[in-house]
Amino acid sequence: MHTNHPAKLALAASLAGLLAACGHQVQTTSGSQYLAAYESGAPGGRASATDAEIAVAANVEPQLRFPARLGLARIGHQGLTAVPPAEAESWRALAQRLGSGYGAFVPVSPLIAALATPEPSRLVFTNDMFPEFRTSLAEVVREVRLGAARQHLDAVLLYETFGRSEETSNPLAVTKLALIGFFLPTEDVEAEGFAQAVLVDVRNGYTYGTASARSERPTYRLSTSGNSYAVQREAQADAQARAVENLTGEIEAMVRELRLALAEGRVAGDAR
């Protein structure tokens, strides 16, 4: 089995959690109301540093209004990355379905984000030959928000994909010990794709919703002994692109629900 799973940058704790949570959620609750409800029933006494930290985290309000400029940020193994063409087509289709009343999706440029970030990710040498970039999820989100702010975006949709594949021998595998077996399709490759996203306010970090999806059915390929790895990567990429296509359906439902909930919240606030 081969797995392409950017665990260090995952927006969820595990792939298992992703599999069990296909769908979407919307949040429009008020931070001040949340804190007021707890403070009114809290016993007297001195607040701890943890209490103060939690209060700061909770004290945030939804401020998004549609139509909006929504950023699109794809998170890969090394942080913010360009959106592949196959996935970009799914996002273009989503923008067309939503229409101008919802605004526009604008890809967050990795170059602009890098220019807007005072302290870029550090280059770490894990051995003498192969350096790699290492950064935390918090640093990635910070870089995305700074890049989105430089592009004057209202909120940003951070998303990432996962892929896993499994290889099994088929009847032609009996030729593996012969030279000809190197050129025959002796392996069956089966791949699945998963995707998840979170919509975050660029200015105050408010989380408006989350969504996740998976490819409806596995992607199948045949591989030879000589191209097994490449075929698995290709199958995973295809499965992940189909997962993103399904993710856009969840995002569409989330955004439509969010727009209505925010409008209703503003009406209720004006009535008070």
What confidence score (pLDDT) does residue 238 get?
82
Closest among 74, 42, 69 to 55, alpha carbons compared: 42
What confidence score (pLDDT) does residue 14 get?
45
Residue ranges of alpha helices (H) inside the chain are: 15-19, 31-40, 49-58, 85-98, 110-116, 137-150, 228-271
What confidence score (pLDDT) does residue 218 get?
59
What confidence score (pLDDT) does residue 110 get?
93
What confidence score (pLDDT) does residue 161 get?
92
Nearest-5° angle of CA 7, CA 245, CA 91? 95
Whether 147 and 106 have beta carbons less than 8 Å apart is answered as: no
Phi/psi-derived region of residue 79, left when phi > 0, alpha when psi is between -120 and 50, beta in every other case? left
Mapped onto helix, strand or coil, the DSSP state of residue 83 is: coil
| Cα dist from 218 to 21, 91, 92, 235, whole Å | 18, 22, 24, 9
Contacts of 73 (CB under 8 A, 6+ apart): 80, 107, 108, 144, 147, 148, 156, 157, 158, 159
How far is it, in rounded angstroms, from Cα 239 to Cα 217?
Answer: 8
What confidence score (pLDDT) does residue 219 get?
60
What confidence score (pLDDT) does residue 75 get?
94
For tokens 């979170």, what's the residue?
198
**Residue 178 token pair:** 């012969």
How far is it, in rounded angstroms, from Cα 174 to Cα 246?
Answer: 39
* DSSP states of 35-76: HHHHHHTPPSSPPPHHHHHHHHHH-------SSEEEEEEEEE
What confidence score (pLDDT) does residue 169 get?
44
How far is it, in rounded angstroms, from Cα 76 to Cα 37?
Answer: 39
How far is it, in rounded angstroms, from Cα 142 to Cα 156?
Answer: 12
Angle between the N-to-C axes of helices 31-40 and 49-58, in degrees from 0 to 180, rounded to the nearest 10: 140
Question: Mean pLDDT, consecutive 10-residue segments, the chain of 272 residues?
Answer: 44 45 90 85 62 90 96 91 93 96 95 86 51 70 95 97 61 44 53 92 97 77 52 78 94 97 82 60
pTM value? 0.77
